[in-house]
Amino acid sequence: MCHPLLADASFWRHLQWLDEQIAEEARSGGCPHCQGVLHGARYPRKVFGVARGLLGEGYTRRLSFCCAREGCRRRTTPQSVRFLGRRMFPGAVVLLLCALTQELSRRRRARLGARLGVSTRTLERWRRWWRATLPATAWWCAARARLMPAPAAQALPGSLLACFGVPASAEVLIAALHFLAPCSLASFPRHALQ
């Protein structure tokens, strides 16, 4: 493992519990379209980069809901601290691996990524997302203003983690994942603004 938190089952259980709290809050608010009752409609999720024994059964499903009102039936998927969008790796892996490999050579990044089953191509795609795509979104332009000092785009995601504290402890990582939770939604822009 490249960081002790990634091998800590209690860390992954805590993220699962936080997601359940966020999901319950969304469910109790009702359907955002018609205020109808929301029923559970979890969908399967494949997760890579962490030993299955550490994650538990909860990581095989994404918490989601479906409106019970006939004629609406729309899906509502709450924000997540476990997942960063549609990526197959948990958000904590994406965040930590990209932060830890910022100053490494391409070869050393590839070796570290390989330890978690992340290809060089995938790691480079994540790095582009952090450095180019995310900073160009309207959400980031507004959200970064809430942080002091504002994280430097060319140093993401390390500069984001530094806003929440150093070193990258469980509390720091969880705070950063909470901050990034809007990125977990399907409606989050996947590409930079034109």
Q: In this predicted structure, what is the pLDDT of residue 51?
A: 81
Q: In this predicted structure, what is the pLDDT of residue 189?
A: 66
Provide CB contacts within 8 A for 84, sequence distance 6+.
Answer: 90, 91, 94, 95, 180, 183, 184
Question: Could you tell me which of 11, 66, 62, 69 has the C-alpha nearest to residue 36?
Answer: 69
- Provide block-wise average pLDDT over 10 residues at a time, the chain (194 residues): 80 96 96 95 89 85 94 94 88 91 86 86 91 92 92 94 86 95 80 43
Q: In this predicted structure, what is the pLDDT of residue 190?
A: 61
Q: In this predicted structure, what is the pLDDT of residue 1?
A: 43
Q: In this predicted structure, what is the pLDDT of residue 161?
A: 93
pTM for this entry: 0.88
What single DSSP character describes residue 150? P
Provide CB contacts within 8 A for 184, sequence distance 6+.
Answer: 79, 80, 81, 83, 84, 85, 91
The pair of three-digit structure tokens given for residue 140, joined into one six-digit string: 């980031």
Q: In this predicted structure, what is the pLDDT of residue 194?
A: 33
Question: Could you tell me which of 61, 59, 67, 57 has the C-alpha nearest to residue 26?
Answer: 67
